[in-house]
Structure 1
Amino acid sequence: MAEAHQAVAFQFTVTPEGVDFQLSCEALKQIYLSGVSSWKKRFVRLKNSILTGVYPGTPSGWLAVVIATVGSMYFRVDVSGGLIVCIRERLPDGCYLSLRTRTLLSAILFSTGVWVSGVLLCRQTLKLFLSHHGWMFEPHGRTSRTTKIWAAAVKVLSGRKPMLYSLQTSLPKLPVPKVKDTIQRYLDSVHHLMDPERYRQMEALAREFQKKTAPRLQKYLVLKSWWATNYVSDWWEEYIYLRGRGPIMVNSNYYVMDFLYAKPTPLQAARAGNAVHAILLYRRKLDREELRPVMALGVVPMCSYQMERIFNTTRIPGKEADSLLHVSESKHLAVYHQGRFYKVWLYHGGKLLSPCDLELQFQRILDDPSKPQPGEERLAALTAGDRLPWAEARARYFSHGRNRAALDCIERAAFFLTLDEDTCGYNAKNENSLDELAKSLLHGQCYDRWFDKSFTLVVYRNGKLGANAEHSWADAPIVGHLWEFMLATDQFQLGYSHSGHCQGVPNTALPPPQRLQWDIPAECRLVIDASYSVARALADDVDFHCFRFTDFGKGRIKKCRTSPDSFVQMALQLAHFRDKGYFCLTYEASMTRLFREGRTETVRSCTREATAFVHCMEDPDGSPSECLKLFREAAEKHQNLYRLAMTGAGIDRHLFCLYVVSRYLGLDSPFLAQVLSEPWRLSTSQTPQQQIRMFDLETNPDHVSPGGGFGPVANDGYGVSYIIAGEHLITFHVSSKHSSPQTDSKRFGRNIRQALLDIAALFDTPPRKMAN
Structure 2
Amino acid sequence: MAEAHEAVAFEFRVGAEGVNLNVSYDVFKALLYAGLRSWKLRCRRTMNSLYNTIYPGHPLFGIASCGIVYGLNTKGHDPSNGLIDWLDLHIFKRYFTPDNSKILACIVFGTGAYIVLVQIRQSALKKLFSYHGWMYQEHGKKMRFGTKLWGSLVKLLIGRNPSLYSYQSVLPTLPLPSLDDTLRRYLRTIRPLCNDEEYHRMVTLAEEFRETIGRKLQRYLWLKWLISTNYVSDWWEKFVYLRGRSPIMVNSNFYGLDTAYVRPTKIQTARAANIVCAAFQYRNELDHQNIKPLMVQNLIPLCSSQYERQFNTTRIPGKETDKLVHYSDSHHIAVYHKGRWYKVFMFYKDNLLQPCELQIQLDEIIKDPTLPCYGEEHLGALTAGERTLWAEAHQTYFSTGVNRSSLEAIEKAAFTLILDDEEYDIGVLQSNSSLSSINNENTTDKFDTYARSVLHGKGYDRWFDKSLNFIISKNGVVGINVEHSWADAPVSVHLYEYMIAEDIVNFSYDELGNTRGTPRFVALKPIKLKWLIPEACNNMIEKSLAQAKNLYENVDLHVYVHNAYGKGFMKKCKLSPDAYIQMALQLAHYRDSGRFNLTYEASMTRLFRDGRTETVRSCSIESSQWVKSMENPTVTKNERIKLLRRACDYHQQQYRDAMTGKGIDRHLFCLYVLSKYLEIESPFLQQVLHEPWKLSTSQTPVTYDDQHLKRLMAKNPDVVARYGIINSHSLVPLGGGFGPVAADGYGVSYIIATEDLIYFHISSNRSAPETDSKRFGQRIRQAMEDMRALFDEESQNVDGFYEHKKI
TM-score above 0.5, yes or no? yes
Distance 1:15 1:619 in 2: 90
Q: Please state whether the residue corresponding to 1:590 is helix, strand or coil.
A: strand
Distance 2:558 2:386 in 1: 26
Deviation at 1:692, TM superposition (A): 2.4
Mapping 1:73-152, distance limit 5 Å:
73-91=73-91, 93-94=93-94, 96-142=95-141, 143-152=143-152
Contact in 1 for aligned 2:92/2:105 (Cα 8 Å) = no
Alpha-carbon spacing, 1:97–1:245, altered in 2? closer, same or farther (3 Å): same
Tell me, which stretches of 5 or more residues in structure 2 are unaligned?
A: 428-437, 711-724, 796-807
Distance 1:305 1:400 in 2: 34
Aligned mate of 1:630, from 620, 643, 654 = 643
Moved more, 519-528 or 587-596: 519-528
Distance 2:299 2:99 in 1: 47
1:695 maps to which residue?
Answer: 709
Alpha-carbon spacing, 1:734–1:62, altered in 2? closer, same or farther (3 Å): same
Report the residue type matching 1:51 in the other structure.
Answer: Y
Q: Please state whether the residue corresponding to 1:695 is helix, strand or coil.
A: helix
Contact in 2 for aligned 1:545/1:735 (Cα 8 Å) = yes
Contact in 2 for aligned 1:360/1:506 (Cα 8 Å) = no
Q: Please state whether the residue corresponding to 2:465 is helix, strand or coil.
A: coil
Q: Please state whether the residue corresponding to 1:723 is helix, strand or coil.
A: strand
Q: Please state whether the residue corresponding to 1:684 is helix, strand or coil.
A: strand
Report the residue type matching 2:104 in the other structure.
Answer: L
Distance 1:159 1:700 in 2: 28
Mapping 1:679-694, distance limit 5 Å:
679-693=692-706, 694=708
Instruction: Tell me if 1:301 matches 2:301.
Output: yes
Alpha-carbon spacing, 1:26–1:751, altered in 2? closer, same or farther (3 Å): closer
Contact in 1 for aligned 2:296/2:302 (Cα 8 Å) = yes
Instruction: Tell me if 1:437 matches 2:436.
Output: no
1:770 maps to which residue?
Answer: none
Aligned mate of 2:487, from 474, 488, 510 = 474
Distance 1:558 1:582 in 2: 29
2:504 maps to which residue?
Answer: 491
Deviation at 1:27, TM superposition (A): 6.3
Alpha-carbon spacing, 1:550–1:101, altered in 2? closer, same or farther (3 Å): same
1:343 maps to which residue?
Answer: 343
Instruction: Tell me if 1:725 matches 2:753.
Output: yes
1:408 maps to which residue?
Answer: 408
Mapping 1:355-394, distance limit 5 Å:
355-394=355-394
Deviation at 1:325, TM superposition (A): 1.0
Identity of aligned residues (%): 50
Contact in 1 for aligned 2:739/2:764 (Cα 8 Å) = yes
1:647 maps to which residue?
Answer: 660
Distance 1:382 1:41 in 2: 34
Contact in 1 for aligned 2:497/2:732 (Cα 8 Å) = no
Deviation at 1:508, TM superposition (A): 6.7
Report the residue type matching 1:336 in the other structure.
Answer: Y
Q: Please state whether the residue corresponding to 1:666 is helix, strand or coil.
A: coil
Report the residue type matching 2:709 in the other structure.
Answer: F
Deviation at 1:322, TM superposition (A): 0.5
Alpha-carbon spacing, 1:263–1:82, altered in 2? closer, same or farther (3 Å): same
Report the residue type matching 2:116 in the other structure.
Answer: S
Report the residue type matching 1:648 in the other structure.
Answer: G
Contact in 1 for aligned 2:5/2:525 (Cα 8 Å) = no
Report the residue type matching 1:555 in the other structure.
Answer: G
Report the residue type matching 2:54 in the other structure.
Answer: V
Distance 1:227 1:260 in 2: 47
Task: Name the count of aligned residue pairs.
Answer: 766
Aligned mate of 1:536, from 549, 555, 571 = 549
Aligned mate of 1:743, from 771, 774, 778 = 771
Deviation at 1:757, TM superposition (A): 1.4
Moved more, 25-34 or 12-21: 12-21
1:419 maps to which residue?
Answer: 419
TM score, norm. by length of structure 2: 0.92
Contact in 1 for aligned 2:172/2:608 (Cα 8 Å) = yes
Alpha-carbon spacing, 1:610–1:23, altered in 2? closer, same or farther (3 Å): closer
Distance 1:516 1:718 in 2: 40
Partner deviation per Cα, 1:702-748 (whole Å, 9 max, x = no partner): 42211110000001100000001111100000000111110010110
TM score, norm. by length of structure 1: 0.96
Partner deviation per Cα, 1:600-625 (whole Å, 9 max, x = no partner): 00000000000000000110111110
Contact in 2 for aligned 1:262/1:702 (Cα 8 Å) = yes
Distance 1:465 1:21 in 2: 44
Partner deviation per Cα, 1:120-153 (whole Å, 9 max, x = no partner): 1111100000000000111023333332332232
Report the residue type matching 2:167 in the other structure.
Answer: L
2:153 maps to which residue?
Answer: 153
Mapping 1:209-220, distance limit 5 Å:
209-220=209-220
2:55 maps to which residue?
Answer: 55
Deviation at 1:28, TM superposition (A): 6.2
Distance 2:290 2:99 in 1: 42
Contact in 1 for aligned 2:333/2:343 (Cα 8 Å) = yes
Alpha-carbon spacing, 1:13–1:203, altered in 2? closer, same or farther (3 Å): closer
Deviation at 1:31, TM superposition (A): 5.0
Partner deviation per Cα, 1:18-51 (whole Å, 9 max, x = no partner): 9898888766655554443333222211211111
Contact in 2 for aligned 1:7/1:511 (Cα 8 Å) = no
Alpha-carbon spacing, 1:196–1:90, altered in 2? closer, same or farther (3 Å): same
Deviation at 1:89, TM superposition (A): 2.8
Deviation at 1:4, TM superposition (A): 2.5
Report the residue type matching 1:502 in the other structure.
Answer: T
2:802 maps to which residue?
Answer: none
Q: Please state whether the residue corresponding to 1:725 is helix, strand or coil.
A: strand
Report the residue type matching 1:459 in the other structure.
Answer: I
Distance 2:249 2:696 in 1: 17
Aligned mate of 1:667, from 680, 693, 697 = 680
Contact in 2 for aligned 1:230/1:596 (Cα 8 Å) = yes
2:800 maps to which residue?
Answer: none
Distance 1:739 1:5 in 2: 49
Distance 1:8 1:374 in 2: 22
Deviation at 1:88, TM superposition (A): 2.1
Contact in 1 for aligned 2:26/2:524 (Cα 8 Å) = no
2:762 maps to which residue?
Answer: 734
Q: Please state whether the residue corresponding to 1:602 is helix, strand or coil.
A: strand
Contact in 2 for aligned 1:312/1:327 (Cα 8 Å) = yes
Mapping 1:133-532, distance limit 5 Å:
133-142=132-141, 143-427=143-427, 430-506=443-519, 509-532=522-545
Alpha-carbon spacing, 1:575–1:318, altered in 2? closer, same or farther (3 Å): same
Contact in 2 for aligned 1:127/1:172 (Cα 8 Å) = yes
Alpha-carbon spacing, 1:362–1:657, altered in 2? closer, same or farther (3 Å): same
Deviation at 1:11, TM superposition (A): 8.0
Partner deviation per Cα, 1:676-722 (whole Å, 9 max, x = no partner): 01000000000000342233786464422111100000011000000
Report the residue type matching 2:330 in the other structure.
Answer: S
Mapping 1:480-629, distance limit 5 Å:
480-506=493-519, 509-629=522-642
Contact in 2 for aligned 1:333/1:414 (Cα 8 Å) = yes
Instruction: Tell me if 1:762 matches 2:790.
Output: yes
Tell me, which stretches of 5 or more residues in structure 1 are unaligned?
A: 768-772
CA RMSD of aligned residues (A): 2.0
Moved more, 422-431 or 347-356: 422-431
Distance 2:208 2:32 in 1: 69
Alpha-carbon spacing, 1:2–1:685, altered in 2? closer, same or farther (3 Å): same
2:66 maps to which residue?
Answer: 66
Distance 1:8 1:742 in 2: 55
Partner deviation per Cα, 1:422-454 (whole Å, 9 max, x = no partner): 111524553211111111011000000000000
Instruction: Tell me if 1:715 matches 2:729.
Output: no
Moved more, 503-512 or 615-624: 503-512
Report the residue type matching 1:127 in the other structure.
Answer: K
Distance 1:405 1:32 in 2: 19
Q: Please state whether the residue corresponding to 2:314 is helix, strand or coil.
A: strand
Partner deviation per Cα, 1:348-394 (whole Å, 9 max, x = no partner): 11110110111111111111111111111111111101110110111
